[in-house]
């Protein structure tokens, strides 16, 4: 099936990594095992190893005959990623990994441990083509799409790290790392299906614990709604008016504020899920009280109780002249949005000092 947004938002034409077990759905896994001359039950066995035991090296798959491990590894488990650098902060509770793919492409993911949950923020592209001026990722440009397996390997690595560290469990996944997820639509949807599928066909993480972020690719939002995956949709709005959003989120020149919010309403209607509205608050740019009122009125009219605004204090990025709004302005903004009957909170920022917070990922290795 073709991607829903061809040409304009395509990644540069670069070769994708070799086929990996995690790229395959149930039927493709069965076919791949048959091609190797192995009995059909090996497909389920391999799936249990990868998704259940979090093992991607056939040499460690003790229920696989030793004589076929090398063959299976070469055909289905090629090395895709290696951690080029890992740094942490928050007393080790926030850890950022710089990944290097087999073609030298780099991207990042961030694992965050909280008292009540463990969340991994994953990338769907190397770089980003949306060019939002306050985001380090967008300013770096788009290198290429990630494969489904490259996306899933970030999840498996985080889940395995938690398990090995202290028996912890990965509970939440957010597609809020590098890239615009809906510009890599087919691979992201395939990854979501594997993440949410019950073992041994997937990691078995609840769809309600997954968040897919977008800057407002309206046709793809509607298509995602029709997939009935029921993940949380996060719409990165950042301005309630087209004049400013054209500058802050350049894709607004194609799909205006009204179109993006209407698509979000369609998503809420189809799935019954509340939509998260992301709003990076920038001093003297989008933090005016009248814009808070405009945002509150817009969301009250279109989404009502199915909207929740996440105010994000702007995180510093190299070369940017913009900074976060002062706390009094932030409190006034939240107060005014709430006055229109719209839920609104300020997001807890993690990883700022290691450039791991929202808008800071740049994959510099």
> CA of 317: how far to CAs of 83, 140, 361, in Å?
23, 12, 9
> Are 140 and 108 in contact, with CB atoms under 8 Å apart?
no
Point out the residues that are catalytic. Answer: 108, 358
Q: What is the CA radius of gyration of the chain?
A: 21
Strand pairing class (106-113; 232-236): unpaired
Helices 218-226, 185-196: axis angle to 10 degrees equals 30
User: Where do the DSSP E strands lie in 147-290?
Assistant: 172-175, 210-214, 232-236, 275-281
> Are 141 and 127 in contact, with CB atoms under 8 Å apart?
yes
> CA of 347: how far to CAs of 308, 319, 337, 357, 359, in Å?
11, 24, 15, 11, 13
Instruction: Say how far apart CA 334 and CA 325 lie, in whole Å.
Output: 12
Q: What's 353's DSSP letter?
A: G
Instruction: Say how far apart CA 143 and CA 10 lie, in whole Å.
Output: 10
Instruction: Say how far apart CA 214 and CA 71 lie, in whole Å.
Output: 40
Instruction: Say how far apart CA 99 and CA 81 lie, in whole Å.
Output: 6
b/e sequence 337-350, b meaning 16+ C-beta within 10 Å: beebebbbebbeeb
């Amino acid at each position: 099936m073709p991607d829903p947004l061809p040409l304009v938002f395509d990644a540069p034409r670069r070769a994708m990594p070799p086929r990996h077990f995690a790229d395959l759905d149930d039927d493709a896994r069965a076919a791949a095992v048959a091609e190797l001359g192995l009995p059909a039950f090996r497909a389920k066995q391999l799936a249990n190893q990868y998704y259940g035991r979090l093992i991607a090296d056939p040499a460690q798959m003790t229920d696989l005959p030793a004589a076929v491990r090398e063959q299976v590894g070469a055909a289905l488990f090629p090395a895709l990623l290696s951690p080029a650098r890992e740094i942490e902060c928050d007393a080790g509770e926030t850890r950022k990994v710089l990944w290097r793919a087999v073609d030298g492409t780099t991207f990042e993911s961030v694992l965050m441990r909280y008292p009540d949950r463990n969340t991994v923020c994953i990338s769907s592209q190397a770089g980003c083509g949306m060019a939002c001026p306050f985001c380090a990722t967008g300013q770096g440009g788009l290198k290429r799409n990630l494969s489904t397996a490259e996306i899933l390997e970030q999840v498996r690595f985080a889940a395995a790290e938690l398990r090995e560290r202290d028996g912890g469990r990965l509970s939440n996944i957010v597609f809020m790392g590098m890239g615009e997820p809906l510009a890599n639509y087919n691979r992201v949807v395939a990854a979501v299906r594997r993440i949410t599928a019950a073992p041994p066909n997937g990691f078995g993480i609840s769809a309600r614990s997954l968040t897919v972020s977008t800057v407002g690719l309206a046709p793809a939002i509607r298509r995602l709604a029709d997939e009935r995956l029921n993940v949380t949709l996060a719409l990165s709005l950042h301005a309630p008016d087209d004049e400013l959003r054209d500058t802050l989120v350049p894709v607004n020149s194609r799909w205006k504020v009204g179109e993006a919010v209407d698509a979000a309403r369609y998503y809420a209607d189809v799935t019954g899920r509340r939509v998260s509205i992301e709003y990076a608050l920038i001093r003297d740019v989008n933090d005016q009280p009248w814009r808070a009122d405009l945002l509150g009125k817009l969301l009250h009219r279109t989404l009502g109780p199915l909207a929740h605004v996440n105010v994000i204090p702007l995180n510093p990025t190299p070369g940017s002249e913009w900074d976060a709004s002062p706390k009094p302005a932030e409190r006034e903004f939240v107060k005014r949005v709430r006055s229109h009957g719209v839920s609104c909170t300020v997001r807890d920022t993690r990883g700022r000092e290691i450039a791991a917070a929202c808008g800071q990922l740049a994959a510099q290795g």
